[in-house]
Homo-oligomer: A and B are copies of this chain.
Amino acid sequence: MQPDFEKAGGLVAAIAQDADSGQVLMIAWMNREAWEETLRSKRAVYYSRSRGKLWRKGEESGHVQEVREVYVDCDADTILLKVKQVGGAACHEGYASCFFRKVEGDDVKVVGERVFDPKQVYRK
């Protein structure tokens, strides 16, 4: 079964969830090529909208996502990956999850702890 890339204009949203803890790590996008390579390689491959090309998660940082389980939603236009996040952090800011900011009324609180220092990992 394929996600319906046509309906969604070529890209579908993909959630990465930690397979062990259940923590939601991030959302990214996949085109058909990213989807097929993800299934084949068992590593998460997304499509970077900002860079306009495939994004093999971890290709720069080494923090790849090993794909344990793959789900497609009822409308076949969203994907859920259960992954093992190598390095312990999915977020380019060094947090385990990209959702490290909690909204409480008008306030926002950082609730995650930094696993790594982005300056050390992404050397430009």
Contact = CB atoms under 8 A, between A and B. Distances in A.
A26 B95 CA distance: 23
A81 to B, nearest CB: 10
A118 to B, nearest CB: 10
A93 B78 contact: no
A6 interface: no
Stoichiometry (number of copies): 2
Interface string A1-37: 1000000000001010100011110110000000000
Interface residues of A, number: 34
Given A1-B108, A22-B22, A108-B1, A71 B101 contact: yes
Interface in A67-87: 69-75, 78, 80
Interface of A: 1, 13, 15, 17, 21-24, 26-27, 39, 69-75, 78, 80, 91-93, 95, 98-105, 108, 111
